[in-house]
Amino acid sequence: MRRILPSPGDEVDLAEAYAYPSREWLRLNMVASVDGGAWLKGLSEGLSGKADRRVFGVLRGLADVVLVGAATVRTEGYGPVRPRASWAEPRQGRPPVPPVAVVTRRLDLDLASPLFTEAEPGARTIVITTGSAPGDRRDEVAKHADVIVAGDDRVDLATAVRVLRERGLGRILCEGGPRVNAQLAAAGLIDELCLTVSPLLIGGDAARVLNGPASLTNLAVSHILEEDGFLFCRYTREQA
Ligand SMILES: NC(=O)c1ccc[n+]([C@@H]2O[C@H](COP(=O)([O-])OP(=O)(O)OC[C@H]3O[C@@H](n4cnc5c(N)ncnc54)[C@H](OP(=O)(O)O)[C@@H]3O)[C@@H](O)[C@H]2O)c1
């Protein structure tokens, strides 16, 4: 992988390039086609590639928690994060993996799936839901996951982020999907966007990486890396 910006170079240490600048920081990681589509045939897989999967793994290794919307969990068949030997050093003093935190109103989650049955010790899956979610279903979910209630009718993402921080999970890696992303942006919660631009044009009706309320976040380019035609763009929010 080569660095294009800020200074051209060939030896990129990804863990260094993506080090969190602060213990409380929300990073969004997404892959999109050149024309901005966030999925191909309903999944992100067709947009991704070898280097993107490498960056995806490094970002997980650095995070305290992986935040994700329930539709992404369902469509992408999310499991728990699996430990990697290379994470031992960046994760010193932390559990071997970050837990996955799922945002959901309906609680339509497969509690018999590995996401709930195979989470690593110290990284039990977290379900972030609403006060109005069906109570009996919430009790059932609580047997398999840590439940956070953040909001009444819908999850208030600012509250959810605050509660995660209170639990010591300040380095938040959001992996989408676009509907959750748009709400995070509208609430002014996105500190950083890691966007992989896949060398594809796809047309069709895939959502963009934000799909929801209009918002405006000013970004500054922090770095651009390249491998096999994929661009790895790291943007940070400009302070107002
Ligand atoms: N290109 C990429 O990098 C990338 C990354 C991730 C996903 N994707 C793709 O994006 C698609 C899924 O994304 P999506 O935007 O449709 O959905 P999403 O953001 O993953 O999840 C939406 C779901 O999250 C829950 N939710 C969201 N906001 C909520 C709130 N405020 N309160 C309560 N629950 C809330 C709801 O779950 P319930 O229905 O359970 O209530 C809602 O149906 C898939 O095709 C996936 O492959 C692409």
Which of the listed residues 31, 179, 181, 194 should we mutate to test ligand 1's pocket, taking the one with most ligand atoms within 8 A of CB? 179
177 C-alpha to center of ligand 1: Å?
4
Which of the listed residues 33, 40, 103 should we mutate to test ligand 1's pocket, taking the one with most ligand atoms within 8 A of CB? 103
| DSSP 8-state code for residue 43 | B
- Among residues 98, 147, 111, 109, the alpha carbon closest in space to that of 127 is found at 147
Residues in a beta bridge with 220: 236
Which of the listed residues 41, 73, 100, 104 should we mutate to test ligand 1's pocket, taking the one with most ligand atoms within 8 A of CB? 104
CA distance 176 to 210: 9
* pLDDT, one tens digit for every residue, the chain (240 residues): 999 999 999 989 999 999 999 999 999 999 999 999 999 999 999 999 999 999 999 999 999 999 999 999 999 999 999 999 999 999 999 999 999 999 999 999 999 999 999 999 999 999 999 999 999 999 999 999 999 999 999 999 999 999 999 999 999 999 999 999 999 999 999 999 999 999 999 999 999 999 999 999 999 999 999 999 999 999 999 976
Q: Do residues 109 and 73 lie in contact, with contact meaning Cβ atoms separated by under 8 Å?
A: yes
Q: Hey, what domains does the chain have and what are their CATH numbers? A: 25-63+178-240 (3.40.430.10), 64-81+95-170 (3.40.430.10)
From the CB of 72, is ligand 1 less than 6 Å away?
Answer: yes
pTM: 0.98
From the CB of 196, is ligand 1 less than 6 Å away?
Answer: no
Q: Measured from the CA of 107, which atom of ligand 1 is nearest?
A: 40
